[in-house]
Amino acid sequence: MTRTLLSRIFGDAIFPGTFDPRWALFSANSFIAAMLAIYLAFRLGLQRPYWAMLTVYLTAQPLAGAVRSRAAYRLLGTLLGASAAVALVPLLVDQPSLMTLAITSWAALCLYVSLQDRTPRSYAFLLAGYTATTVAFSSVAAPHLVFEVALARVEEIVLGVCCATAVHTLLFPSDVTGALIRSIDAAVRDASAWTAEVFLEHAPTKGKAARWRLASDVTQFEVLSSHLRYDTAAAKPQNWMIRALQDKFALVLPMLTAIEDRLDALGERRPPELDQLLSRLGQWARAPATSQHHSQELMRLCAEFEVIRPAQDSGWDALLISSLIAKSSAMIETLAAIVELNAVIQGSQPAPYLTRFESKVHRAKRPLHRDQGLAALSVVAFFAAVLGCAAVWVATAWPEGGLAAQIAAIAAALYSSLDDPAPTLMSYTLWTIASLPIAAIYLFVIFPAIDGFPLLAASLAPPFLVIGYLQANPRHIVKALALGLGLIGALDLQNRYLADFASFANVNAASLIGLLSAFLAVRAFRSVTAKHAAKRLIRHGWVDLAILARARRPMDRERWVGLMLDRLGLVVPRLALCGADVETEAGRSLAALQMGLDLFDLKSSVANANDQRSERLEGLVVKLSNAFRWFASGNIELPPEEAQALRATIDTELGEYCKWDAAIQRTRRTALVGLRRALFPDAPAPTFDGTT
């Protein structure tokens, strides 16, 4: 019975059957770091030692590199936020309302900036925002002491950060490099296996969730590689290698899906020599590193095949085969590059072997999807929560009102990157309430009975070891943080025993009011459902495609593909969450990505040749842009007349390019076949007058 109840509350996290020693080690490290921080804070006579302990639990991460990067960003953010408070408070000391507005605006600006960056770097801006509110609202009663408050905050955070970093780095650290290398290796094996499967089985393998994981993997590499600079491993892969690998990985999903689509369209009408070629490609893809063939040799075979085929065949099937071969050849090149890069990253090949990649790789950061609209709504919710608390604080002269506003600012900012932060905030509030009885037991029963630091550490060990263990488990991280931070805040550990029930009740009531006001503001202004979030992502994809079609200047292909793939990785879990048909909906997003790649090819061919046909292609591109805008407004299909006109234009162009076989015509032909298949997969095969 007890076990059932506990397992319902804590999941299966605390039972021996699922005991994970790594999580236990993480928990022990966090506790040692917390006790070290609190001990040093006591010894140094800091004002609020519990801030140092809070920082230890907020900075703790399972990977040592992640702890160090989070520590650096937290320190940077705290310095920036404290500086902002020190700059603003003395200026507006005579205008408390204006000061509240200015500090809230600064924090809102920082929140907005942090939401524009989905990598761990955003933590610095998040901290810069809510540190300013914490310091400013703490010093409203005595504005002349703002520097002391800011200094105390910085000192305690520095202490917490240093203790967390030292302990998590020195005691059995698990490095980011190992985790990154393992996930890259798994993704490479998945990509090879999928490529081999497509080439050898010739049938679309739709309905496999693993392929959608490939899209989110690319973003995951970006997030993990941002910790690399701070990692503890002796030999770390260089960032350009990871970027090069990401650029290549980004092409795998659209290219393999295109190959599957051409095979599907050809059906059983594949000539035997094509089957032969595909089976050679498949055998190579099964084990590219150990295969007796070389990728260059296979690409040469593809090129030869492409030259021979059009002479024998004509019409739609020939175009499909030509497109299939072009895509297959590109896929082999991509997979070969991925395998080579993986070997270098794993350390089995020296880096100079691949220096040719380095010059090609963009040193600029890869863009990830950003949603300005949702970020703006987060800012509105933040304003509502903080200013609401501040208004009640000023109107009622509530002594603890400043604390409520501080907690509202932290809570409204902390989970604002989620689609719907409200359930997480509610869960956080409930678990904070759950921490209060534990804190009361400590404050009024245990602490009066003990004396000295060793006894304090021993008495705190049981709950904090359990909390640390739960924090290591991604499923329980919110409840662990709420319990841990609630407990640390409520205990308010000081050098002397100062417990007072009235103050305990007042402070914690203010914290809960702050949390609830953040919840209400977020629920009113910011919450979106998974379905709505998925729709927004899909719409952004189509709008970007329309912008690409209309773009006068050439756009960066790798950046564009990376962004679209990131969106695809984001849209899939949201579609699954709202119960939508993932295959169909995500398939449409993938089709948008494929069309983008074809458009890049088409536009580059237009830019390279200023002939009359290129001008006609410009007309087609405008029509395509209009079609993409139509899809962006939520429509699934084009109006019949427009669809027919667009298809007729593509078919006319295709008919033109059937007659020629120069490289530029081949590029355009492949791109047009790709666009036609993506836009009109069920349309009957076109007939070309004079060629069929």
Binding site for other proteins (CB under 8 A): 64, 166, 169-170, 173, 232-235
Nearer to other proteins, 231 or 656 (CB): 231
From residue 638, give the alpha-carbon distance in Å to each of 156, 270, 555, 616, 673. 60, 31, 26, 22, 18
Nearer to other proteins, 173 or 421 (CB): 173
Nearest to 222 by CA among 593, 558, 591, 577: 558
338: enclosing H helix or E strand: helix 316-346
Nearer to other proteins, 147 or 630 (CB): 147
Give Dmax (Cα) for the chain.
99
Residue position matching structure tokens 């002479």 = 311
Nearer to other proteins, 67 or 253 (CB): 67
Whole-number minimum distance, CB 231 to other proteins, in Å?
9
Residues 6+ apart with CB under 8 A from 182: none
Nearer to other proteins, 208 or 229 (CB): 229
Whole-number minimum distance, CB 233 to other proteins, in Å?
7
Nearer to other proteins, 229 or 294 (CB): 229
Residue 156: phi and psi, rounded to 5, are: -70, -35
Given a contact cutoff of 8 angstroms between Cβ atoms, the answer to whether 593 and 218 are in contact is: no
What is the distance between the alpha carbons of residues 145 and 504, in angstroms, rounded to a whole number? 24
Nearer to other proteins, 170 or 446 (CB): 170
Whole-number minimum distance, CB 234 to other proteins, in Å?
4
Whole-number minimum distance, CB 521 to other proteins, in Å?
38
Nearer to other proteins, 64 or 379 (CB): 64
First to last CA, the chain: 77
What is the distance between the alpha carbons of residues 382 and 580, in angstroms, rounded to a whole number? 31
What is the distance between the alpha carbons of residues 588 and 538, in angstroms, rounded to a whole number? 9
Sequence-ordered alpha helix ranges (H) in 267-315: 272-286, 295-312
Give the DSSP letter string of 505-521. HHHHHHHHHHHHHHHHH
Nearer to other proteins, 233 or 266 (CB): 233
Buried b / exposed e over 601-640, threshold 16 CB at 10 Å, is bbbbbbeeeeeebbeebeebbeebbebbbbbbeeeeebee
Given a contact cutoff of 8 angstroms between Cβ atoms, the answer to whether 160 and 73 are in contact is: no
What is the distance between the alpha carbons of residues 656 and 662, in angstroms, rounded to a whole number? 12
Nearer to other proteins, 234 or 395 (CB): 234
What is the distance between the alpha carbons of residues 67 and 51, in angstroms, rounded to a whole number? 17
What is the distance between the alpha carbons of residues 65 and 67, in angstroms, rounded to a whole number? 5
3-state SS string over 521-579?
HHHHHCCCCHHHHHHHHHHHHHHHHHHHHHCCCCCCHHHHHHHHHHHHHHHHHHHHHCC
Nearer to other proteins, 68 or 476 (CB): 68
Residue position matching structure tokens 């001990």 = 39
Given a contact cutoff of 8 angstroms between Cβ atoms, the answer to whether 49 and 156 are in contact is: yes
